[in-house]
A and B are shown apart, each in its own frame.
Chain A
Amino acid sequence: MRRSAVPKGEVVVKRSARASLGARGEPQVWALGGSLALGVLMIVGFLALILWNGIVTFWPKPIEVLELYDGTVVAGERTRSETYVPRPDELSGWPEAATRGVALAGKVTRSLYRIANFDLYNEDFRWVSDYQIREQDRDPDFYFVERTEWGPFVGKVAELRVGSRTLSDPASIAEVLPEELEKAAERREALRSLERKGIGNINRAFENLRLELRAVALRQGEQSEAYRAEERGQKEKIAELQARHEQLAARAQEIRKVDQDFELVLKDVNGAAKTIRLSEVVRLYPANRLGVLGKLGVYLSRWKEFLVAEPREANTEGGVMPAIFGTFAMTLLMVLFVAPFGVLAALYLSEYAKQGHIVSAVRVSVNNLAGVPSIVYGVFGLGFFAYLVGGRIDQWFFPERLPSPTFGTGGLLWASLTLALMTVPVVIVATEEALSAVPQSMREGSLACGASKWQTVRHIVLPRALPGIMTGLILAMARGAGEVAPLMLVGVVKLAPDLPIDGVFPYIHLERSFMHLGFHIYDVGFQSRNSEAGKPMVFVTTLLLIAIVALLNAIAIVVRNRLKRRFATGHF
């Protein structure tokens, strides 16, 4: 735009008069353009990497059955390939051609196969060099079985035991299996809800009774009359709870007993048999027989599980619902804190405070606080909120629970307060900018019409500054949603079975620690048993997190444009 302000022809004329090649600075311009190209390339490459890996992860892959030259047979999904330089001792079992090929190129292509069956092999993955393979095919009878324990299983379905019946011919198994799997899943769900909700609630009730008793003991002493009364009163309740507990346990036992009769006998590629209960199977499909529609079905069901289910297998499989929930809860709570306070501070700074050196110094400081590393806020949050304030709250309000902390450790409340503190400078700066963009003439006009200062602010200034304020808030949300470092200190955990909001009084549990998508990435990628097994999960989680952050950013941009248009008419 600015270059075209000068007509092109004129420039050319000038150039031909004097401008030498050096004046055009072509190599320098190319260096500038090259930098931009490299930057764009990196960004595009990065996003493509995330997008591609995130999208294809759940697509079912065929199961390759490989017969190697050393006689072993391997079956698994191929995950990725690379070239490498083999060690001399590796070459011994390889055919003649391989030795020559290696000598020629120095490098060999190998592929990583997900051989699964961790309970049988003690490893999930295996590298196979291209030269090792004697024969390779895709046996249509192989199944990919996702289990609740031990990771997936790759092998054939040999037998299906349904009650007293034992089916072993593939056709009848295929006929009965889907229905039985559904029933087994129902049993699993029933058992889980019995254990988690039913028995979990009773245990919580027991714990509450114990705490109540202890509270009385702390308040009035163990010898007091109130304590004895409480003790007597609880006896009845305890008996009732115990009865209910036994009842539920009996029902669970019943389901388990039924469940025991439904078994699946799997055989791996070498014929080793593994019997699992049908209810342990999360998903099962004949990988090499699936058509595109079948694959799509598996793909979608995996996405569904990812979005709505809880994690299993040390977070490397299953879903991330608690993490999504935690991320949203924390971010929303953070906005609840940051919005009023940030706007209040900005209003004070730009509308009410007497402008001078002190205010501009404060402004510079606030601006800088936006650049203070997030981990510093985490340190502060841990020391101040969790240990100091939380410790006090525990002493005053929850003495019966000590020494196990209630608020005196990281939790949802402290995490969102910490992030609110971290993002409040961002909101202040954005709001101030928006306020100062409202023309002074409008304020003066309003005041001249007899409106008071607050009326002016309320009816003239704030509406016009709203787009800027909203943008600032949403950007703060985007930053909060993607931040991990401070959260590691103030309340994010790798596995929080209880959501911060549930059906148990008082319904919102601000003191509970929670899961977070960003921390989930760090945890699965770096803290789990096998980072290779968790990698697909990490990619999908990454995709989800980036999508959320990008969505928030996009909303910010849209909101800004929308509101700008709505209020643009007021300008003089």
Chain B
Amino acid sequence: MFVADRLAKRVISVGGIAVIAAVMGILVFLVAEVAPLFLGGEILEDSAYSIDTADRASAATAWDEYRRLVTLVGLDGTITSIHAPSGRELAPENFGFSQLPSAGAHILGGSPMVFGFPDGNARVVDVGFRSEVLLADQRPAGLELLPDGDRTDGAAVYSDIPGGQVRKVFAARRLEEPFRVTGGRGVRALAMSVSGAGQDSTRSFLALDEAGTLWLTRARTKKNLMTGALRTKTQTVELPPIVGLSDDPYLLLSRGGQNVTVALKNGTVYRFDASDFGNPKLAETSRLTAPGVGVSALGYLVGEQSLVVGGTDGSVNIHFLLRRDGAGTADGRRLVRTRELEPHSAAVTRIVPSGIDKSFLTADAAGELWLRHATSDQVLLRFPRGGDAGASYRYLALAPRRDGVFAATAEGRARYWHISVPHPETSWKTFWGRIWYEGYPEPSFTWQSSAATDDFEPKLSLVPLIFGTLKATFYSMLFAVPLALLAAIFVSEFMGGRARGVLKPAMEMMASLPSVVLGFVAALVLAPVVETWIGSVLLAFLTVPAMIVLGAHLWQLLPRNLADRYDGTAKFLCILAALLLGIYLAAQLGSGFERLFFQGSITRWLSGAAGSGRPFTFLMFLPLALFAVLAYGARRPVNPFHRFSKESEGLRAGLYSFAGLALSLLAAAALSAGATELLVRFGFDPRHGLVGTYVQRNTLLIGFAMGFAVIPIIFTIAEDALSAVPDHLRGASLGCGATVWQTTLWVVMPAAMSGIFSAIMVGMGRAVGETMIVVMAAGNTPVMDINVFNGLRALSANIAVELPEAVVGGTLYRTLFLSGLVLFAVTFVVNTVAELVRLRYRKKARQL
């Protein structure tokens, strides 16, 4: 027996602790999945070596996808390929131009690039890479083994890859025929852009000639439908002249060549609008930097919408070209500074954008090199300077997959870093703050995780989703809390034990109703009905309470002995009848209501097509006004009829009470009308805020459906709390002469308050996390709009919709885990508060 006992204790303890730990482990796991979002990057490999061809002026630096080969192209046409991890230089090459180029330019990533020549011609050059996967036995023999396990034959690099295969990476050169880019004078500076690919591509070139004239060239390649041959048509126009282009300016060209940006070293920028190619215009002249600060580096980020400006003072700013009212420019658009990033301490010398997202490298004159991200406004990595502090980098390249950096100084000291930056686009601010995304007129909270286009930037603000969750919770609680609490009070204080015995288990069973059922009914059955009968639905909010109050006042007219005799099931049936009458009236009068107040159709009125905001404002304020009148009347007996009613008895009291109600209503109507008049004078229209265009799956519907889901929960817990109030309190109160209502209001309710609060909190916790109802009936549009008749997207629904498609370990995946964590935290806090209040209440209740 002793053994069994010890064993049982051991098993139960270990098992119990393990289960509890496992459940708690959820939190740990979620945090671990989310944490990488907020970490910057790390350097996995760092090697330093020297190269001896670095002293030439750089034209372009290209890098292959697998971080094997870096190609440095000098302005003299020489090509040096280096095995990036080890620094081994491969056989040098040369384009062998007949004349030395006078200018060079490249697109993002380094290839293709273009050389400009003193005779006014330009030649496009491809300095890209090819890769092949070979079987292990296809690898040629006698290769030189490099320090990191790669092999080379002097021209290509062979690396082992998983599956017993070998990848061969080699540089591929292609030199195209020369074409003219200026009027004939020599090319002093160039810019290039490419849009489209292959059969239908457009290359644009911007050239500055020796006389300071700017030329825009467009080369269109089209496939001949008959012969299948590619034909290129080249056109060149002269841009309007700018004075003072003596100093070497920065030239930038957007995709398709529609926006031409020329920035001087002193910070002045000229922007040409070349959307009409034959007739380019100078659209805007402004400054990119603060007065007295020059521009020392300039570049587009991928997508060519963000212009990064590096200043001589070390500042790094982002500019967007945005349409602005009163821009004062020829095309109505203006360069707007949208972001000021963390500055360098010395002048920025180079900006190298990444080809896959909005990250970019910045280097300064002091030799600092940072990897940063524009949208998330953070410095992801600061590269160590090592021995060659102080010298700035001449050759700089970011690997195509943003997983490596190559940098070399003019003295030939080169560094290679293999880096890992899994989630550069996220930071605390991108989740919670307003972010100014490309193409947006202003900073905004936006959730848009995917789109059809390639250079799309995911917008992952959780704010619209949290807003959606709160909106759904608010409206469902607005519907459920009063209904559930009042019903619970009625059941516990005004109904017999038998009715309780039926209602309680029924409600408990409703609490375990699958929410998918509620969502289905709300979205497919209720939504069309509510849309058709929207007038009646809104009217019911007036007629149902009105009928209940009317019924109560009629009941007061009953002689006391009758009223007491039928106080019970009969009265409840009367209440039910009054309720049904209210619903019937609303259904019957719905269309008349719409015609009277909303020009015949509420949905049309809501979309702002007809009518004024006056009737709705009046109706909206009416209950508030009535509440205010009654509250004021309760403090100060201003309503004479209420006073009379108090002082008289029987039928007369009832009649006075009736008259008092009528007077209060009149007063409320007057008050509401006055308030409406005042507000409308000031241009208030409810359609711009609280209500607006009607969408079929909307928040009102969610309020109903989710309210329906939480009513049983709130009801059961609140009812438990109420019936836990000891009977001797009630007895004492009734014995002192208080009525049942007075006892309920002043004795039972205060005693049960904490339990009721706990009920509301638990209901709220359920509403916050409810998923299927919002997935099905909320429309799932992530908008931040307080309009009751618009849809929403809740955090939980967003997870359910997007997680199955998210790439494991990707940014979206982790962001959805973050939303899960937020939900976890919110509900945990809400429930803890509820639980603590309940425990305190239980202690207090024991003392009663």
The answer to whether A and B assemble together is: yes
CB of A31 to closest CB in B, whole Å: 6
With A25-B742, A83-B532 known to touch, is A549 a contact of B520 (CB < 8 Å)?
Answer: no
Do A364 and B832 have beta carbons less than 8 Å apart? yes
Do A375 and B497 have beta carbons less than 8 Å apart? no
Do A372 and B513 have beta carbons less than 8 Å apart? no
List, in ascending order, chain A residues with CB within 8 A of B513's CB.
482, 546, 549
List, in ascending order, chain A residues with CB within 8 A of B519's CB.
522
Q: Which partner residue on chain B sits nearest A546 by CB separation?
A: B517
CB of A115 to closest CB in B, whole Å: 20
Q: Which partner residue on chain B sits nearest A82 by CB separation?
A: B532
Do B769 and A387 have beta carbons less than 8 Å apart? no
List, in ascending order, chain B residues with CB within 8 A of A39's CB.
483-484, 487, 711, 715
With A39-B484, A377-B26, A482-B516 known to touch, is A23 a contact of B579 (CB < 8 Å)?
Answer: no
CA distance A499 to B335 in the complex (A): 62
Do B4 and A376 have beta carbons less than 8 Å apart? no
Q: Which partner residue on chain A sits nearest B809 by CB separation?
A: A387
Do A455 and B1 have beta carbons less than 8 Å apart? yes
Q: Which partner residue on chain A sits nearest B8 by CB separation?
A: A454
Do B820 and A380 have beta carbons less than 8 Å apart? yes
Best-buried of B520, B816, B823 by chain A (most CB within 10 Å): B520
Judge whether A75 is part of the interface by a CB distance below 8 angstroms. no
Do B1 and A26 have beta carbons less than 8 Å apart? no
With A34-B548, A371-B766 known to touch, is A452 a contact of B2 (CB < 8 Å)?
Answer: yes
CB of A375 to closest CB in B, whole Å: 5
CB of B357 to closest CB in A, whole Å: 24
With A369-B23, A454-B4, A522-B772 known to touch, is A347 a contact of B517 (CB < 8 Å)?
Answer: no
CA distance A519 to B514 in the complex (A): 11
List, in ascending order, chain B residues with CB within 8 A of A46's CB.
521, 708
List, in ascending order, chain A residues with CB within 8 A of B601's CB.
85
Q: Which partner residue on chain A sits nearest B733 by CB separation?
A: A6
With A3-B493, A34-B575, A454-B8 known to touch, is A345 a contact of B20 (CB < 8 Å)?
Answer: yes
CA distance A285 to B551 in the complex (A): 54
Judge whether B560 is part of the interface by a CB distance below 8 angstroms. yes
Judge whether A342 is part of the interface by a CB distance below 8 angstroms. yes
List, in ascending order, chain A residues with CB within 8 A of B771's CB.
373-375, 484-485
List, in ascending order, chain A residues with CB within 8 A of B800's CB.
375, 378, 485, 488-489
Do A482 and B23 have beta carbons less than 8 Å apart? no
Q: Which of A480-515 contact B (CB under 8 A)?
A: 481-485, 488-489
CA distance A535 to B363 in the complex (A): 63
Judge whether B596 is part of the interface by a CB distance below 8 angstroms. no
Q: Which of A13-30 contact B (CB under 8 A)?
A: 14-30
Q: Which of B736-794 contact A (CB under 8 A)?
A: 737-742, 745, 762, 765-766, 768-772, 775-776
Do A376 and B772 have beta carbons less than 8 Å apart? no
How many chain A residues touch the partner (CB < 8 A)? 117
CA distance A488 to B545 in the complex (A): 41
Q: Which of A422-476 contact B (CB under 8 A)?
A: 424-425, 428, 452-455, 457-458, 475
With A37-B579, A380-B820, A521-B520 known to touch, is A27 a contact of B734 (CB < 8 Å)?
Answer: no
List, in ascending order, chain A residues with CB within 8 A of B575's CB.
30, 33-34, 37
Judge whether B509 is part of the interface by a CB distance below 8 angstroms. yes
Do B482 and A35 have beta carbons less than 8 Å apart? yes
List, in ascending order, chain B residues with CB within 8 A of A384's CB.
29
Do A421 and B734 have beta carbons less than 8 Å apart? no
Do A27 and B739 have beta carbons less than 8 Å apart? no
Main secondary structure of the interface of B (DSSP, over half): helix
Do A484 and B516 have beta carbons less than 8 Å apart? yes
List, in ascending order, chain A residues with CB within 8 A of B708's CB.
42, 46
Q: Which of B788-842 contact A (CB under 8 A)?
A: 796, 799-800, 803-804, 808, 816-817, 820, 823-824, 827-828, 830-832, 835-836, 839
Which stretch from B10-18, B104-112, B279-287, B401-409 is at the chain A interface?
B10-18
Judge whether B177 is part of the interface by a CB distance below 8 angstroms. no
CA distance A518 to B1 in the complex (A): 48
Judge whether B524 is part of the interface by a CB distance below 8 angstroms. yes
List, in ascending order, chain B residues with CB within 8 A of A484's CB.
514-516, 771-772
List, in ascending order, chain B residues with CB within 8 A of A30's CB.
548-549, 551-552, 555, 575, 578
Q: Which partner residue on chain B sits nearest A370 by CB separation?
A: B831
CB of B203 to closest CB in A, whole Å: 39
Q: Which of A365-403 contact B (CB under 8 A)?
A: 365-369, 371-380, 382-384, 387
CA distance A348 to B708 in the complex (A): 37
Q: Which partner residue on chain A sits nearest B824 by CB separation?
A: A376
With A2-B727, A36-B490, A379-B799 known to touch, is A29 a contact of B827 (CB < 8 Å)?
Answer: no
With A5-B731, A344-B15 known to touch, is A421 a contact of B26 (CB < 8 Å)?
Answer: yes
Do A347 and B549 have beta carbons less than 8 Å apart? no
Do B646 and A20 have beta carbons less than 8 Å apart? yes
Do B524 and A455 have beta carbons less than 8 Å apart? no
CB of A48 to closest CB in B, whole Å: 12
CA distance A340 to B16 in the complex (A): 10
CA distance A545 to B769 in the complex (A): 22
Do A16 and B560 have beta carbons less than 8 Å apart? yes
Do A344 and B16 have beta carbons less than 8 Å apart? yes
List, in ascending order, chain B residues with CB within 8 A of A49's CB.
521, 525
With A352-B9, A479-B512, A542-B517 known to touch, is A5 a contact of B727 (CB < 8 Å)?
Answer: yes
Judge whether B5 is part of the interface by a CB distance below 8 angstroms. yes
Do A526 and B741 have beta carbons less than 8 Å apart? no
Do B831 and A349 have beta carbons less than 8 Å apart? no
Judge whether A353 is part of the interface by a CB distance below 8 angstroms. yes
Do A352 and B516 have beta carbons less than 8 Å apart? no
Kindly identify which residue among B579, B591, B769 contacts A374, using a CB–CB cutoff of 8 Å.
Answer: B769
With A15-B739, A485-B771 known to touch, is A376 a contact of B766 (CB < 8 Å)?
Answer: no
Kindly identify which residue among B486, B556, B817, B830 contacts A31, using a CB–CB cutoff of 8 Å.
Answer: B486
Kindly identify which residue among A369, A377, A525 contacts B776, using a CB–CB cutoff of 8 Å.
Answer: A525
List, in ascending order, chain A residues with CB within 8 A of B823's CB.
372-373, 375-376
Judge whether B124 is part of the interface by a CB distance below 8 angstroms. no
Q: Which of B159-208 contact A (CB under 8 A)?
A: none
With A1-B496, A46-B708 known to touch, is A35 a contact of B23 (CB < 8 Å)?
Answer: no
Q: Which partner residue on chain A sits nearest B486 by CB separation?
A: A35
Q: Which partner residue on chain B sits nearest A554 by CB separation?
A: B509
Do B520 and A26 have beta carbons less than 8 Å apart? no
Judge whether A205 is part of the interface by a CB distance below 8 angstroms. no
Give A78-91 as 1s and 0s: 1 = Cβ < 8 Å from B's Cβ atoms.
00001111000000
Judge whether A41 is part of the interface by a CB distance below 8 angstroms. yes
Judge whether B489 is part of the interface by a CB distance below 8 angstroms. yes
Judge whether A4 is part of the interface by a CB distance below 8 angstroms. yes
Do B490 and A380 have beta carbons less than 8 Å apart? no
Judge whether B43 is part of the interface by a CB distance below 8 angstroms. no
Judge whether B423 is part of the interface by a CB distance below 8 angstroms. no
List, in ascending order, chain B residues with CB within 8 A of A17's CB.
737
Give A96-122 as 1s and 0s: 1 = Cβ < 8 Å from B's Cβ atoms.
000000000011000000000000000
With A32-B486, A34-B544 known to touch, is A345 a contact of B521 (CB < 8 Å)?
Answer: no
With A21-B653, A345-B16, A482-B513 known to touch, is A6 a contact of B735 (CB < 8 Å)?
Answer: yes
List residues of B whose CB falls within 8 A of some A CB: 1-2, 4-5, 8-9, 11-13, 15-17, 19-20, 22-24, 26, 29-30, 33, 482-487, 489-491, 493-494, 496-497, 500, 503, 505-506, 508-510, 512-517, 519-521, 523-525, 528, 532, 544-545, 548-549, 551-553, 555-556, 560, 564, 571-572, 575-576, 578-580, 591, 600-601, 642, 645-647, 653-654, 657, 708, 711, 715, 723, 727, 730-731, 734-735, 737-742, 745, 762, 765-766, 768-772, 775-776, 796, 799-800, 803-804, 808, 816-817, 820, 823-824, 827-828, 830-832, 835-836, 839
Q: Which 7 pairs from chain A and chain B are nearest by CB?
A: A373-B769, A348-B16, A482-B514, A25-B741, A35-B486, A485-B771, A30-B552
Q: Could you write out 29 A-B pairs with CB less than 8 Å apart?
A: A3-B494, A3-B730, A11-B734, A18-B737, A22-B646, A25-B745, A29-B490, A29-B552, A31-B549, A34-B575, A35-B484, A35-B485, A36-B572, A39-B483, A39-B715, A49-B521, A341-B15, A344-B12, A344-B16, A348-B17, A373-B827, A374-B771, A482-B512, A489-B803, A519-B516, A522-B520, A525-B524, A542-B520, A557-B505
